[in-house]
Amino acid sequence: MPEDHSQPEAPTEPLDVETLDAGEVFAQAAALAQHLQQAGVQWLPQPNAEEVESLTMHFQSVTASPSEAAGNLATNQQPEVDQQPSSPASREIGTSPPRATETVSPPVDSSGNYLPVIDGPYSGSNLSDSQRSNYLAELADQVASCERCPQLTRNRNHTVFGEGSVQPRVVFFGEAPGADEDRTGRPFVGAAGQLLTKMIEACKFSREEVYILNTIKCRPPNNRNPELEERANCRDYYRRQLDTLRPEYIVCLGAVAAQELLQSKVSVGSLRGKFHRYHDSKVLVTYHPAYLLREPTRKAAAWQDLQLMLRDAQIDF
């Protein structure tokens, strides 16, 4: 039997992730991306935000001293160095959705802390409960016939508008519907939804007392992350919902929701642990329940985030 030489030899040393230099890895990745773009590559794969987050935390804890690492986790104030500009989408109800390419730099204060982009009161008037219900029902009808994203429209069974109280103290803002949500037309009804329900109940609310919605209303194929253009196409819908609901608190679940609402490129690890603002609402960022199912050790951190809100809201827990 002749030897098979077609397989490359295995490396003699296994890759030791603990000894990798984070700065060097990031620099090499940036150089590779630049090289590919110069060579004419038009499309580069999008990183999975939760995995990036996980690796960033890993490198922080490998490269920082234990006290620095703990400090980073506790304060979470530093914006990422290579922030991309983000979009100040139109606030006018009834205008066409902003283009994904509109950009502005997020402001940073003199200590380098990230400042919320979106401030000022909610637009429009504060509606009564019945006006809110009627307006949201009309908007849900518009969403049901929306065809702004051809790929999502083609593949969907149901749009997932959102549901809950029209007078909520807290809104939970997720990423995008999955298979269970697409099948039922309701947000967060699958495995991640069951964990979200537990998180809501730990905050002493029922699902009916809060409101739950997502950045986009249709399921992306294979549960991929929503694309920037899809987020921009759907922005006007969730913004109208929030203008109507004007909750005291918005809890962003995961990087996509947080970065979309705050129009930021900053990681969840850096956004969590403090309040941001979206018009009149205080915004809290925490991990997505689907991520918590994969990384249960992060549940304690998520519970700390929720406790920040509960103490601020003077809710006994």
Minimum distance between the CB of residue 212 and ligand URA, rounded to whole angstroms? 7
Report if residue 136 touches ligand URA, rule: CB under 6 A.
no
Cα–Cα distances in Å, from 171 out to 3, 257, 302? Answer: 63, 12, 16
Q: In angstroms, what is the minimal distance from the CB of 181 to ligand URA?
A: 4
The answer to whether the CB of 220 falls within 8 A of the CB of 152 is yes
Q: Which is nearer to ligand URA, 161 or 249 (CB)?
A: 161
Q: At what angle do helices 191-202 and 299-312 cross, to 10 degrees?
A: 40
Shortest Å, Cβ 18 to ligand URA: 32
Cβ-based neighbours of 118, under 8 Å, separated by 6 or more = 88, 261, 262, 263, 277, 278, 279
CB of 173 to ligand URA, least distance (A): 9
Nearer to ligand URA among residue 193 and residue 247 (C-beta): 193
> For the chain, what percentages of helix, strand and coil (3-state, to nearest 5) are there?
45, 10, 45
Site string for ligand URA, 208-227 (x = CB under 6 A): ------x-------------
One DSSP character per residue, 225-290 reads: PPPHHHHHHHHHHHHHHHHHH--SEEEEEHHHHHHHHHT----HHHHTTS-EEETTEEEEEE--HH
Is position 292 an interface residue for ligand URA (rule: CB under 6 A)?
no
Closer residue to ligand URA in complex, CB, 79/193: 193
What gap in Å lies between CA 118 and CA 100, rounded to an integer?
Answer: 17
Point out which span in 181-189, 227-235, 239-247, 279-287 binds ligand URA (CB under 6 A): 181-189
Stretch of 169-177, 241-249, 267-275, 300-308 contacting ligand URA, by CB under 6 A: 169-177
Residue 175 in contact with ligand URA, rule: CB under 6 A: yes
Binding characters for ligand URA, 189-208, by CB under 6 A (x = yes): ---xx---------------
**Residue 238 interacting with ligand URA (CB under 6 A):** no
Phi–psi pair at 173, nearest 5 degrees:
-115, 110
- CA angle (138, 239, 173) in 5-degree steps: 105
Among 174, 220, 269, 273, binds ligand URA (CB under 6 A): 174
Q: Which of 79, 106, 164, 178 binds ligand URA (CB under 6 A)?
A: 178
Which residue in 261, 227, 236 sits closest to 247, CA to CA? 261
- Site residue total, ligand URA (CB under 6 A): 12
269 touching ligand URA, by CB under 6 A? no
Picking from 249, 182, 252, 179, the residue whose alpha carbon sits closest to that of residue 213 is: 252
- Residues near ligand URA (CB under 6 A): 174-178, 181, 187-188, 192-193, 214, 290
